[in-house]
């Protein structure tokens, strides 16, 4: 299965071409470091591209000061990883192992050079992506997460980091909490970690925005790529994780170009890298609370009152899984009840029975993924079968897997446990029965996230955004209010597939570009 980045162990260090080195040095300042002097402390933003000219740079433990990794950076190699693209922070401390001289280019100037000289950009991005993959998989980070399985708050932080491919270490300590460079966070929240990484609004473009994209699922990320490539000044706002609901898919095998499959998180992560390469910025986890029309543009209000004003808005919020009307549901969320089946959640499923609720592709992919670690996977489906809701290839795999049992005409009746989920009661055609279960995955019918639109655009009876001809718009993705567009699962009548969402996110940018560069006459929305 395809994954993020390449493998650093198979990538022999290769220097820049002579002309590329000359271009970098023309923008750089020379710096010298004494042995043991820090180049970058964990948590500091990556504000410079650092090329090693002489000497050696090593990774140091920010707490103990000891050398962390055997590998070092030598002449011709460069420091940093993907956080450089958005001005975020590196999770490792870098210091000079011996007397070292570097060429350092300010981040804005280096990003311009990477855009102007694709060969430089490709080389840097390839190494950055491979480096992110290595430190993420190895857990080389100043971020320590301990007790994710015992504390729901810590579990939410671990899930946020994992789903966004942000490196962290897992602690074996009995003490529960989240630690950054040895300091315990008083409030372990995804927002606090995002601020540490510089993922909030730090990377917001200067000046007026052309486009705010709300939602970073496949549709939103695709739009981010094409908006950046067309020169639009765009910002993506995401309230949880890159990939959205699609990011919870552990293995997508019917997406063109990936014959061995790819996870939804890895697919959208690749798109995020592309988008940042073109200058599109991402802010998360931030929730949009309200949309207002002001003059010939719009303002979106975020969850803490911050405002983003823009010339156009793209609604790409997708859908969110519905909650089941069960007692103690909220109590067990993050402590046995999950809405995503990724590597992080799978760790809690070893040698235990698992229940998956839902009959769609996401539920099927989750069941297949979890069957590799769980002792038994029970799939609960309200209907009489999976033929109408699940792709044939996936349905056939579920039916053939001896570790998976599909229970039709079945639903959850009760949840039991003390501090975390321990057992569920299932109601089926033959009555009620119990399953000892520490992990329950709810992937049922989803509802659109459109409350924040403040009644400015027309919705259908189910809350999905109406677009195109049915609201008198020229573009298939234009809403009833000029300047506001909608793509992906949130759009009324859309095909609820990853490939379709990516296609819509790509195509809509043409209409957005036309609106931004040739603003239409003022018009009214609903009823106009």
- Model confidence over 303-325: pLDDT tens digits? 989 899 999 999 999 888 788 89
* C-alpha separations of 330 from 9, 152, 357, 472, 518 in Å: 44, 11, 16, 42, 48
Q: What share of the chain is helix, strand, coil (3-state, %, to 5)?
A: 30, 25, 45
pLDDT at 203: 63
Q: Are 91 and 135 in contact (CB under 8 A)?
A: yes
pLDDT at 2: 59
Q: Record the pTM.
A: 0.86
Over range 326-336, report the average pLDDT: 90
pLDDT band at residue 350 using 50, 70 and 90 as cut-offs: confident
Cβ 1 vs Cβ 251: under 8 Å: yes
- Do the domains spanning 211-321+469-517 and 329-444 agree at the CATH topology level? yes
Lowest mean per-residue pLDDT among 186-195, 240-249, 506-515: 240-249
Residues 6+ apart with CB under 8 A from 467: 473, 475, 476, 477, 478, 479, 485, 486, 491, 492, 493
Coil/strand/helix, residue 245: helix
Task: Confirm if 340 and 163 have CB atoms less than 8 A apart.
Answer: yes
Q: Report which DSSP code applies to 407.
A: E
Domain residue ranges in the chain:
8-111, 143-197, 211-321+469-517, 329-444
List, for residues 103-155, the tens digit of each pLDDT value.
999 999 999 999 899 999 999 999 998 888 888 888 888 899 998 877 888 88
> Of 56, 53, 54, 48, which is closest to residue 104 (Cα–Cα)?
48
Q: List, edge to edge, every strand of the sheet that includes 211-214.
A: 281-283, 234-237, 211-214, 313-315, 484-486
Q: Give the rounded percent of residues in the chain with a pLDDT score beyond 70.
A: 95
- In 328-342, which positions are buried (b, 16+ CB within 10 angstroms) versus exposed (e)? eeebbbbbbbbbbbb
Q: 10 Å Cβ neighbour count for 64?
A: 9
Q: Quick one: which of 520, 458, 507 has its CA closest to 225?
A: 507
Q: State the pLDDT at residue 452.
A: 94
The stretches of 62-117 forming alpha helices (DSSP H) are 107-116
Structure-token match 């000044």, residue found: 233
**What does the alpha-carbon distance between residue 218 and residue 170 come to, in Å, rounded to a whole number?**
29
pLDDT at site 173: 60
Q: Are 451 and 289 a contacting pair, CB within 8 Å?
A: no
Q: Is the pLDDT of residue 356 over 60?
A: yes
Burial per residue of 401-434, b for 16 or more beta-carbon CB atoms within 10 angstroms, e otherwise: eeebebbeebebeebebeebbebbebeeeeeeee
Question: How, if at all, do strands 93-96 and 38-40 pair?
Answer: antiparallel
DSSP string, 20-63: HHHHHHHT-EEEEE-TT-EEE-TTSB--EEEEEEES-EEEE-TT
User: Per this entry, what is the length of the chain?
Assistant: 528
User: What is the pLDDT, as a whole number, of residue 10?
Assistant: 47
Q: What is the distance, to the nearest Å, from the Cα of residue 504 to the centroid of all Cα atoms in its chain?
A: 19
Average the pLDDT over 269-287 and give the result.
91
- Alpha carbons within 13 angstroms on the beta-carbon side of residue 310 total 28
Strands 177-180 and 183-184: antiparallel
Please give the Cα distance from 133 to 483 (Å, whole number): 38
455: left (phi over 0), alpha (psi -120 to 50) or beta: left
Nearest alpha carbon to residue 334 among 407, 435, 238, 240: 240
In this prediction, residue 526 carries a pLDDT of 44
Give per-residue pLDDT as tens, 2-41: 566 665 554 455 679 999 999 999 999 999 999 999 999 9
pLDDT tens for each residue of 37-89: 999 998 888 999 999 999 999 999 888 888 988 889 999 999 998 989 888 88
Band of residue 516 on the pLDDT scale cut at 50, 70, 90: very high
Fold of 329-444: FAD/NAD(P)-binding domain (3.50.50)
370-389 burial, b for 16+ CB within 10 Å, e for fewer? Answer: bbebbebbbbbbeeeebeeb
- Number of CB atoms found within 10 A of residue 259's CB: 10
Give which of 28, 72, 69 is closest to 51, Cα–Cα. Answer: 28
The better pLDDT of the pair 363, 525 is held by 363
What tokens does 335 get?
């402590």
What was the pLDDT predicted at 1?
Answer: 56
Specify the CATH class of 211-321+469-517 in words. alpha beta
Q: Is 47 exposed, middle or buried (0-12, 13-18, 19+ CB in 10 A)?
A: middle
26 or 195: which carries more pLDDT confidence? 26
Round to whole Å and give the CA distance between 120 and 306: 36
Do 456 and 290 meet the contact criterion of CB atoms below 8 Å apart? no
Question: Average pLDDT, whole number, for the chain?
Answer: 89
Residue 525: pLDDT band with limits 50, 70, 90 = very low
User: What is the distance between the alpha carbons of residues 166 and 420, in angstroms, rounded to a whole number?
Assistant: 26
Neighbouring CB atoms inside 10 A of 322's CB total 12
Quick one: which of 452, 455, 511 has its CA closest to 481? 455
Instruction: Summarize the confidence of residues 248-254 as an average pLDDT.
Output: 77
Homologous superfamily assigned to 8-111: Jelly Rolls (2.60.120.10)
Q: What is the pLDDT of residue 4?
A: 64
Q: What is the pLDDT of residue 522?
A: 54
Q: Which residues contact 414 (CB under 8 A, 6 or more apart)?
A: 326, 327, 424, 425
pLDDT reported for residue 339:
87
Nearest Cα to 482, choosing from 523, 441, 421? 523
**Residue range 451-481, pLDDT digits in tens:** 999 899 999 999 999 999 999 999 999 999 9
* Tokens describing residue 223: 């739009």
Judged against a pLDDT cut of 90, whether residue 424 lies above it is answered with yes
| DSSP for 152-197, written as a single string | HHHHHHHHHHHHTT---EEE--SS-EEEETTEEPSS--HHHHHHHH
């Amino acid at each position: 299965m395809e994954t993020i980045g390449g493998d650093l162990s198979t990538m022999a260090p290769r220097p820049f071409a002579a002309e590329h080195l000359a271009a970098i040095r023309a923008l750089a300042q020379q710096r010298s470091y004494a042995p043991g002097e820090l180049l970058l402390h964990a948590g500091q933003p990556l504000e410079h591209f650092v090329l090693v000219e002489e000497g050696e740079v090593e990774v140091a433990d920010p707490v103990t000061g000891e050398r962390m990794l055997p590998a070092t950076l030598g002449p011709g190699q460069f420091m940093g990883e993907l956080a450089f693209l958005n001005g975020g922070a590196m999770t490792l401390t870098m210091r000079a192992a011996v007397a070292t001289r570097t060429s350092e280019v300010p981040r804005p100037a280096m990003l311009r050079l990477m855009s102007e000289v694709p060969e430089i950009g490709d080389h840097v991005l390839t190494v950055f992506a491979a480096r992110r993959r290595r430190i993420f998989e190895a857990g080389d980070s100043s971020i320590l997460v301990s007790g994710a399985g015992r504390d729901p708050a810590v579990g939410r932080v671990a899930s946020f980091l994992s789903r966004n491919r942000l490196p962290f270490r897992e602690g074996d300590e009995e003490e529960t909490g989240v630690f950054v460079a040895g300091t315990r966070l008083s409030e372990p929240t995804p927002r606090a970690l995002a601020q540490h990484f510089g993922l909030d609004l730090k990377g917001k473009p200067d000046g007026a925005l052309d486009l705010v994209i709300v939602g970073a699922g496949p549709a939103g990320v695709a739009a981010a790529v094409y908006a950046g490539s067309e020169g639009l000044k765009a910002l993506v706002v995401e309230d949880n994780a890159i990939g959205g609901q699609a990011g919870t898919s552990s293995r997508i095998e019917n997406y063109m170009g990936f014959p061995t499959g790819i996870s939804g998180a890895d697919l959208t992560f690749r798109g995020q890298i592309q988008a940042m390469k073109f200058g599109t910025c991402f802010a998360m986890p931030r929730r949009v609370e309200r949309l207002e029309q002001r003059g010939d543009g719009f303002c979106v209000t975020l969850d803490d009152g911050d405002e983003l004003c823009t010339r156009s808005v793209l609604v790409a919020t997708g859908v969110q899984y519905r909650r089941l009307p069960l007692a103690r549901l909220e109590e067990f969320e993050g402590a046995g009840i999950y809405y995503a089946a990724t590597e992080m959640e799978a760790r809690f499923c070893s040698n235990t029975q698992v229940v998956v609720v839902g009959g769609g592709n996401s539920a099927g992919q989750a069941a297949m993924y979890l069957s590799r670690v769980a002792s038994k996977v029970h799939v609960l489906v309200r209907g009489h079968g999976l033929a109408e809701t699940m792709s044939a290839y996936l349905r056939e795999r579920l039916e053939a897997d001896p570790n998976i049992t599909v229970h039709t005409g079945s639903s959850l009746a009760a949840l039991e446990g003390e501090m975390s989920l321990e057992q569920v009661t299932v109601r089926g055609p033959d009555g009620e029965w119990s399953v000892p279960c520490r992990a329950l995955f709810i992937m049922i019918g989803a509802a659109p996230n459109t409350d924040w639109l403040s009644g400015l655009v027309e919705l259908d009876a189910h809350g999905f955004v109406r677009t195109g001809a049915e609201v008198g718009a020229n573009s298939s993705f234009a809403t009833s209010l000029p300047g506001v567009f909608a793509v992906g699962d949130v759009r009324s009548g859309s095909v609820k597939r990853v490939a379709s969402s990516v296609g819509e996110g790509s195509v809509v940018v043409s209409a957005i570009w036309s609106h931004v560069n040739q603003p239409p006459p003022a018009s009214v929305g609903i009823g106009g």
